[in-house]
Amino acid sequence: MFSMKRKGDYRLQFTRTLKEVGRYQVEMYLFTPHEGNFSAWTMTEKDFFFNSISHRFGLMGLPDQDRASKTDSSYTLLSPHYEILYGSWLFQYRASLERLRQQIQASGLAAEPLKRALRLSQNFAARIRRAKPEQSSQQRYFRHLDIYFSWHAEQFFLECMAQEEFAQQEEELQEAIRDFLHKEHRHRREQEYLSDLQGNPTRVWNRMSLYHRLLEYPVVLRTKVIELGPGTQKLVKAASTTLIMSLFTYFLFNTRAGNQQLSLTLLLTIALIYAVRDLLRDDMIATITRWLRKGKPRWKIRLLMPYTRKLLAQQLAWLDYRKLPELPQQVLEHSGKWVTNEERWIICYRSRLTLDRSALEKDQLQERLELDCEALCEMIENTGKQLFSCEDPADPNAPIEAHPIEKQHDYNLLLVFTSPEQPHPLAQRWRLRLGAHGIVQCESKDSHWPVPSEQPTPNWRQRLAARFRRR
């Protein structure tokens, strides 16, 4: 399952961990609202892919491999192995805290997730502070890591302490959390970290976001995007030009052989046909190319290891705008309860990633799919309308209040995904309420998707194909 997290005013991040060898597929369907004016004219598919969607993968070291590397002191001399190792530890810690945050948001604040978060934070602090590096570059990385971890752990526990249920927890647990926060503050003062955490909240948040990007740089896979289809477009262009020129040459030779001369009217007719051909050629080539590449991936993304640039895996990506009847049958059957308008555009993104054994020999991968709604929010027009009401409806002499009205659009986001350990597709749905200044509300909803036991069993061909994909 994917875990969702809001990042800033406009972005949503969906994450899951890839542990098994095989094919991973995720499909995102963003159903635009009735009152919106979204179409390919307002934002092209290519612009949406490169500006509003970010699909990245990061390395998460396996615990056994981490312990083996830790016992070998030679790894500290081999940069960037130090940064990759410690960065993967931070990835694991953040992913664990994020799962606990999702559990608390779904089921309420309880003692068990708090105790687990406290143990994780204490163990991680002891793990990274056991020995400080000696090289200057590693010392700089360690400083950023130590500051960011201390701040991130403090933010998690302060967020939990701000909830009403925290006062209902055991007194011993509350005291243990306060003691951990006090030790972290003392550690920051002793290590002279307080200057990095001073300033207004926005400045501190931006600085910690910068530290996070610096820390994740050694463990985030590099991407090389290759657009698929230009070769097909060139072949269509060459074939159409060859066909048209052959027909014109044949026509001219027959006219010359029959009349022994070319009239001015014939030359003007040929010039007019050429003008019409140039006018319609681009649209014709685009239409034929789109028909030939219908259903095929639009981009191939090569995932490269940090620093070494070694090819780890390849990803295929699709993105197009569709109407409701054009959706896959399974999605169409289970989206009718909350989608009724067939005229709405639906943004369809699909990704397919195949991992072999060499890709997961030393690490697990964390998949992160981010959706940036800023371009969608810019399409919402600000309105100056107001709603007037009395403070006391029973008193006609009560003061009148004017409430400004903010225009908002509701989107439905559906994620359909598969994995090697779960070949039957699963689905999650959220309802997004967007305003002119960002995401107003993001609420998890029932997707009305059948459980795996209710889905049809794949036939022998599908099982055979899945077995070959795992090898």
Q: What's the pLDDT at 79? A: 53
CA 213 – CA 208 distance, rounded (Å): 9
Burial class (CB in 10 A: 0-12, 13-18, 19+), 75: middle
Residue 471 has a pLDDT of 42
Strand pairing partners for 61? 363
């003062």: which residue's tokens? 189
Are 321 and 45 in contact, with CB atoms under 8 Å apart? yes
Q: How many CB atoms lie within 10 A of CB 206?
A: 12
CA-angle at 442, arms to 440 and 445, nearest 5°: 145
What confidence score (pLDDT) does residue 219 get?
85
CA–CA distance, 191 with 334 (Å, rounded to integer) = 56
As a whole number of angstroms, the distance between CA 283 and CA 291 comes to 12
Quick one: pLDDT at residue 154? 94
Residue pointed to by tokens 């620093």: 307
CB neighbour class for 128 (10 Å; exposed up to 12, middle 13-18, buried from 19): middle
pLDDT at 324: 87
The tokens for 172 are: 């011993």
What is the chain's length?
471
Residue (of 314, 403, 410, 308) closest to 359 by Cα position: 314
Parse the chain into domains and list their residue ranges.
1-60+221-227+298-386+405-471, 81-217, 229-292
Residue keyed to tokens 């896959």: 328
Tokens of 222: 């590099």
Q: Do 21 and 355 contact (CB within 8 A), yes or no?
A: yes
For residue 357, give every residue at least 6 positions away whose Cβ sits within 8 Å of its Cβ, in sequence order, or none. Answer: 21
Question: What's the Cα-to-Cα distance from 317 to each of 139, 227, 302, rounded to whole Å?
Answer: 39, 10, 11
Q: Residue 76's pLDDT is what?
A: 47
**Cβ 439 vs Cβ 411: under 8 Å:** no
Which has the closest alpha carbon to 2: 447, 403, 402? 447
User: What is the Cα–Cα distance from 216 to 220, expressed in whole angstroms?
Assistant: 6
Closest CA to 442 of 371, 382, 369: 371
Residue partners of 106: CB distance under 8 A and separation at least 6: none
Query: How many other C-beta atoms lie within 10 A of the C-beta of residue 52?
Result: 21
Answer for the pair 351, 55: CB distance below 8 angstroms, yes or no: yes
Per-residue pLDDT of the chain (471 residues; tens, 9 = 90+): 888 888 878 999 999 888 888 899 999 999 998 777 788 888 899 999 999 999 999 887 655 444 444 444 444 444 567 888 888 889 889 888 988 988 888 788 889 999 999 999 999 999 999 878 878 878 889 999 999 999 999 999 999 999 989 989 999 999 999 999 999 999 999 999 999 998 888 899 999 999 998 998 888 888 899 888 888 878 888 888 888 778 777 777 776 665 555 567 777 777 787 787 777 777 788 888 888 888 888 899 999 888 778 888 899 999 999 988 888 888 888 876 677 677 789 999 999 998 887 777 667 888 999 999 999 998 888 777 778 777 777 777 778 888 777 888 889 999 999 988 888 899 999 999 998 888 988 888 888 888 776 666 656 565 555 555 444
The phi and psi torsions of 381 (rounded to 5 degrees) equal -80, 135
Tokens of residue 206, six digits = 């931006």
pLDDT, residue 257, reads 64
**128: three-class secondary structure by DSSP:** helix
> Would you state the pLDDT for residue 135?
80
Query: What pLDDT does 66 receive?
Result: 47
- Predicted pLDDT of residue 153: 94
The per-residue pLDDT for 130 is 86
HSE-CB at 98 with a 13 A cutoff on CA atoms is 20
Measure the CA–CA gap between 180 and 161, rounded to whole angstroms: 13
Cα distance between residue 152 and residue 156, in whole Å: 6
Q: What ranges make up the beta strands (E) of 270-356?
A: 299-304, 311-322, 346-355
Q: Is 401 helix (H, G, I), strand (E, B) or coil?
A: strand
Residue 258: what pLDDT?
A: 59
